[in-house]
């Protein structure tokens, strides 16, 4: 039986194990969306992962969701990422940048621009801004002629990611951000070719993936999805058909992997596993749910046919997660208070397991 510690071929990479670090926004970038030396240390501490997927990175300035997140749309941002990718590679790791366009989950106080979305429907909840949480504004609905430009922004950022030394990119198609807004049936009320039918609702995701594959190659392109997820007020009609059609298109593009969140029942998820011929990264628990991914959930999903398992919170608080899982050492708990603040505290301060005599 496959274990977490077997190697796996992913695109052109050989991963030494099947433990993936899940993408986690940490809001510690410098002004201008620049990666920092602390970010290099943070990711390098976790380089024993089979693959690291970074925090969400904005592919354009209007695509920024939270303040303090890094970007991949300026030359300065590319230069700032280079020491991060070099540090991870020096420690023997591999990393993909998660490209995250926030769409309507954004604020003019953060970007200086009115957010855009498929339709003029605001997100539910409160968004982070430089002055604290605020209600999300009503986005400006993109004109039909503008949509392709936003799809291409992922591809341009992907090219910059490779320039910065990343091994590939993951398109953030989950959790209520722009791609997920297009997939939805209540954030997307469009009557043009990007809304309504399943074929139309997946079009933006497919255009973004196609452009990215053309820019950097299928072996360097992954896609994260949250079938049926309800983040930021998203609702999706026809979940099984929507994702089955999307998976068919991603299979045609031969992207390196699909990264699924456990936002639907096992029946839907297992159906997608059967329909997806490529590598599947499974994130086995509900994002921000009370229970975090651990060894039991990972083994369960490897048994159900996942190829790789992503760990979020456990990796945040255990830089040596792979070793702890391999040897059965206890996991350190995560401090929620420092998820999105605290500088190096709660970021670089989680130690590797301390063996005592
Ligand atoms: C602090 C924090 C930040 C997160 N940021 C992102 C993100 O930027 N992109 C994303 O796709 N998921 C994000 N997630 C969700 C995680 O990738 C993961 O799906 C979730 O934590 C559940 O997995 P776990 O139980 O292993 O933590 C975040 C989760 C946490 C805890």
pLDDT, tens digit (0-9, with 9 covering 90-100), for 304-337:
999 999 999 999 999 999 999 999 999 999 999 9
Asked if residue 18 has its Cβ within 6 Å of ligand 1, the reply is no
Q: 181, 234 in Cβ contact below 8 A?
A: yes
Sign, Cα dihedral of 336, 64, 180, 85: negative
What's the confidence (pLDDT) of residue 290?
Answer: 83
| β strands within the chain, DSSP E | 8-10, 13-15, 19-21, 51-57, 95-99, 116-117, 127-129, 132-134, 140-141, 168-173, 221-225, 257-261, 279-283, 308-311
Instruction: Give me the pLDDT at residue 57, please.
Output: 99
Given ligand 1 and candidates 4, 19, 20, 22, which is best to mutate, with the most ligand atoms within 8 Å of its CB?
Answer: 22
CA 215/CA 155 separation, integer angstroms: 6
User: Annotated catalytic residue: which of 42, 177, 243, 257?
Assistant: 177
pTM of the model: 0.98
Protein residue with least CA distance to atom 13, ligand 1: 24
Which residues of the chain fall below pLDDT 50? Answer: none
Of 314, 352, 317, 321, the C-alpha closest to 338 is 317
Task: Say if residues 234 and 176 touch (Cβ distance below 8 Å).
Answer: yes
For ligand 1, whether the C-beta of 175 sits within 6 Å is yes
Instruction: Specify the residue with its C-alpha closest to ligand 1, atom 15.
Output: 287
Q: What is the pLDDT of residue 54?
A: 99
56 lines ligand 1 (CB under 6 A): yes
Report the nearest-CA residue for atom 22 of ligand 1. Answer: 287
Q: Are strands 140-141 and 257-261 parallel, antiparallel or unpaired?
A: unpaired
Q: What is the pLDDT of residue 274?
A: 97
pLDDT for the residue numbered 64: 98
- The answer to whether 340 is a known catalytic residue is no
User: In the prediction, which pLDDT does 246 show?
Assistant: 98
């Amino acid at each position: 039986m496959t274990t977490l510690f077997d190697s796996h071929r992913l695109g052109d990479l050989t991963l030494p194990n099947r433990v993936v670090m899940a993408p986690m926004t940490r809001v510690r970038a410098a002004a201008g969306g620049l990666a920092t030396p602390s970010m290099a240390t943070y990711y390098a501490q976790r380089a024993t992962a089979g693959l690291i997927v970074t925090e969400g990175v904005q592919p354009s300035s209007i695509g920024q969701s939270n303040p303090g997140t890094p970007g991949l749309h300026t030359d300065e941002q590319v230069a700032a990422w280079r020491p991060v990718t070099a540090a991870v590679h020096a420690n023997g790791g591999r990393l993909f940048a998660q490209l995250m366009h926030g769409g309507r989950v954004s604020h003019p106080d953060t970007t200086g621009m009115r957010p855009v979305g498929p339709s003029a429907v605001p997100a539910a909840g409160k968004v982070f801004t430089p002055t604290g949480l605020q209600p999300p504004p009503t986005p400006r609905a993109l004109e039909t002629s503008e949509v392709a430009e936003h799809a291409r922004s992922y591809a341009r950022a992907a090219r910059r990611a490779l320039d910065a030394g990343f091994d590939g990119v993951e398109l953030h198609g989950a959790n209520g951000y722009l791609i997920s807004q297009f997939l939805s049936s209540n954030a997307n009320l469009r009557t043009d070719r990007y809304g309504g039918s399943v074929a139309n609702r997946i079009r933006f995701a497919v255009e973004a993936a196609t452009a990215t594959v053309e820019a950097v190659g299928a072996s360097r392109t992954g896609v994260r999805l949250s079938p049926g997820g309800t983040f930021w007020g998203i609702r999706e009609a026809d979940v099984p058909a929507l994702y089955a059609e999307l998976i068919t298109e991603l299979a045609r593009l031969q992207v390196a992997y699909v990264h699924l969140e456990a936002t639907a029942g096992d029946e839907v998820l297992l159906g997608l596993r059967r329909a997806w011929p490529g590598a599947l990264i499974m994130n086995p628990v509900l994002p921000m749910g009370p229970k975090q991914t651990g060894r039991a959930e990972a083994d369960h999903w490897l048994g159900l046919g996942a190829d790789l398992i992503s760990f979020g919170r456990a990796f945040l608080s255990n830089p040596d997660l792979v070793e702890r899982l391999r040897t059965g050492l206890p996991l350190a708990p995560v401090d929620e208070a420092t998820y999105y603040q605290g500088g190096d505290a709660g970021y670089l301060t989680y130690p590797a397991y301390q063996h005592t005599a």
